[in-house]
Structures are given as C-alpha cells and as structure tokens.
Amino acid sequence: MQLLIVDDEPIIRKGLARMAEQYFVPLQGIRTADNGIRALELIRELTPDVVFTDIRMPKMDGLELCRHIYEMDERIQVVVISGYNDFTYAQKSMSYGVKHYLLKPVTKPDMDEILDKLFKTRAKGYISLQKYEDWIDRAEQAIWMLKSAELEQLTSEWEGYCLQADMNLSQTKELLADCLKMLSKRLARKSAAVGPAAPELQAGSKAEALHSFGAELKRMLEELELNRSGNYKDPMTEAKAYIDSHLSREVTLEEVAEMVGLTPTYFSSLFKRMTNETFVQYRIKKRIEKAQSLLALPHVKMSDVASEVGYEDYPHFTKMFKKMTGLSPSEYRSQLGIK
C-alpha cells in the first residue's frame, strides 16, 4: 500500500510519516506534500492507495483536495485530519467519499487503528492507472520491436500484477481483454498488420485467462513479424539516417521518435543504449562532422557552413566546433592549408 501525507506543518508531516513507517505491515512507499497543489502533482505521478490530508492548508485546503481526488480516482482512500474546532467543516468531505477521520493530535495507536481499517477495506481488483499505462507502453514497444523475450518478461510481470490485485475471474478477463484491445488500437495507428484482439477471453479460470492473454500477445508479435516478411527497418538506422539528412534544422527527439513509431521516452532510452550517446550528443557530433567536410571546400563561406549544419548563430557554431575539435573553424581551415 502506498501512502501520501499532506500537511503544511513540517513537524506534523514527519511525525505522521514516522508513525506510518512503524506500522507492523511494511508499506510500499510513503511520500509527503506540504499543500494540496503539490499533493495533486504526486497523486497524478504515483496514484497512491491512501491519502492523509490536513483540512486547513494554504494554496488548496483539504476539502478542495478531497474533491479533486474524488473526481480523479474515487478508489483512492482518503483520511481527513482536523482539529476539534474544524471537525464539522471536515465532515463536508463526506460528499467526496471520505469515510475516515483523525482528530489532532494524532497518536501512534490512532495511526495503527486507521491503518488496520484501511487494510481491511482496501478495494480488491485494483491496479493503478499509472501501472496500467506504463505496462501498455512497454508492451507496445516490445511487440513493435519484435522483442519476444522482453514481451515474455512483461507478460509474466502483468500476470503477477493481476494475481496480487486479488481480482475475481470476471474482473481478470475484463482487464486482460481491455489490455489487448488497447494494444491492438495502438498498433493499428502505426499501420501495423496485426489482426484485432478477441473481444473476450474464453476461460473458465484465472489461470486459463492469463494463459490465453499471453498467447494473444505472442500472436500479435508473430503476426507482425510474418507480415513484415523481412521488410522491417531497424528504427535506430532509420532514426540516424533521418537526423543525418536534416542537420540544417532543429529536429526534435519527439519528431524522430514519432517517425520510427516509438514513444519519446522509449526511443530516448533505446537510442542511448544502442549508440552509447544521447540523441543530442549524436546530433551535435554529426553536425560537426558535416561542418568539417564543408570547411574542406575552399569556396564555401564559414558563415554558410554554420547555417548548413543548423547554427544560425555563428559565435555559437564556433564555440561548439572548438569544443568538439579543439580548433576554431578558421584554425581548422588553416590546418588544411585553406586561407
């Protein structure tokens, strides 16, 4: 269970976090925020299971935070912390699904009691939206890149998530079918020749559903591989060729990633892993290499060289050229015997 503690008082935040850490069941993660706005940022990033929030805070109070959480994901359980004088105000959060309250000052027994209740009432059949989206992204890239070993690992990982969520058979089948539909749609947008996923998994048990799910993922990858019939172009080769042919303008990582059919995050990671340099480092290197070739041509002006390799600001070009070669453009030409 992941916990987010929201309170504008540093001492109270630390005290609540320390008490939660001492609970007899280890929590997966405990994060803190000093106001409602920061809390919302963390909730979008982490999707915690439980949020403890003070009711009186600057920027965004606890009641407003409860409203936002209820609208974002009503499965997140919220515990409102308030002083005795604020309790009537705090009860307004009931309209946003809040069922748990703590009165200040919160003691260790109070914390243990509320965590006991939360563990007992924790919703079953729940996998966070962030985990779902992250897995879909990685599975899509594994299929698109024809990485069968990586897809097997991701399949095993997702099966583990489903089993930990303690879902019933109907929930499991619905979630797995949804995953397959989402992957089919994403691959179709890439013009991938992959047949649509089955609308429903035919299975009499969770084990059968998970087995069918793995088989469908494998079918997608194998069908894509078969339909490409050896015409698959390595995305890194395509990406580098695209960068090399567009050195005169500011090509972005997002643009190249879209061109090769990968998400920017995955493309950036893959590019670094395959080339041992970042996208930006590679682009600078190729620009300077092309600049060296152009500087070897006596009739080409140095200012035109800068423009040809994407540097409209000549002083900046000079600075980058010297950083990469140890010489200024004019010194480089002189070394070649060109005046």
Q: Which of 177, 211, 228 marks a domain boundary? A: 228
Average pLDDT, the chain: 84
Range with lowest mean pLDDT among 5-14, 189-198, 259-268, 292-301: 189-198
pLDDT at 52: 93
Q: Cα(29)–Cα(302) distance, rounded to whole angstroms?
A: 57
Asked if residue 128 has pLDDT above 80, the reply is no
pLDDT at 196: 63
Distance of CA 210 to the CA centre of its chain: 25
**Are residue 114 and residue 6 in the same domain, yes or no?**
yes
Token readout for 137 is 């992204």
**Are residue 48 and residue 10 in the same domain, yes or no?**
yes
Query: Mean pLDDT throughout 250-277?
Result: 84
- CATH number for the domain spanning 80: value is 3.40.50.2300
Distance of CA 182 to the CA centre of its chain: 17
Order the strands of the 77-82 sheet from edge to edge. 29-33, 2-6, 50-54, 77-82, 100-103
**Are residue 97 and residue 10 in the same domain, yes or no?**
yes
Asked if residue 6 has pLDDT above 90, the reply is yes
**Are residue 41 and residue 103 in the same domain, yes or no?**
yes
Among the listed residues 337, 329, 253, the one whose alpha carbon sits nearest the alpha carbon of residue 288: 329
pLDDT at 122: 59
**Are residue 301 and residue 256 in the same domain, yes or no?**
yes
Q: What is the pLDDT of residues 300-336, one digit of tens each?
A: 888 899 988 989 888 999 999 999 999 999 898 888 8
Residues 6+ apart with CB under 8 A from 160: none
**Are residue 117 and residue 152 in the same domain, yes or no?**
no
**Are residue 8 and residue 26 in the same domain, yes or no?**
yes
- Residue 289 phi/psi, 5° resolution? -65, -40
Q: What is the pLDDT of residues 47-70, one digit of tens each?
A: 788 999 988 888 888 889 988 888
Report which listed range, 4-13, 56-65, 72-81, 170-179, is most confident: 4-13
Query: Mean pLDDT throughout 142-156?
Result: 90
**Are residue 65 and residue 143 in the same domain, yes or no?**
no
pLDDT band per the 50, 70, 90 thresholds, residue 194? low
- CATH number for the domain spanning 247: value is 1.10.10.60
pLDDT at 33: 92
- Looking at per-residue pLDDT, the higher value among 338 and 255 belongs to 255
Q: Which of 228, 262, 278 marks a domain boundary? A: 228
Among the listed residues 87, 5, 8, 99, the one whose alpha carbon sits nearest the alpha carbon of residue 46: 5
**Are residue 94 and residue 148 in the same domain, yes or no?**
no
**Are residue 87 and residue 178 in the same domain, yes or no?**
no
Q: What is the pLDDT of residues 108-117, one digit of tens each?
A: 999 999 988 8
CB 87, CB 103: distance < 8 Å:
yes
pLDDT at 263: 80
Report which listed range, 44-53, 127-136, 145-154, 256-265, is most confident: 145-154
Asked if residue 18 has pLDDT above 90, the reply is yes
**Are residue 63 and residue 167 in the same domain, yes or no?**
no
CB 76, CB 69: distance < 8 Å:
yes
- pLDDT-above-70 percentage for the chain: 91
pTM: predicted TM-score of the whole model, two decimal places: 0.45
Q: Which of 173, 193, 228 marks a domain boundary? A: 228
**Are residue 53 and residue 141 in the same domain, yes or no?**
no
Q: Which domain holds residue 29?
A: 2-121
Asked if residue 177 has pLDDT above 60, the reply is yes
Per the DSSP assignment, residues forming a β-bridge with 82 are 103
Residues 6+ apart with CB under 8 A from 140: 183, 186, 187, 263
pLDDT at 4: 93
- In total, how many domains does the chain have? 3
Asked if residue 2 has pLDDT above 90, the reply is no
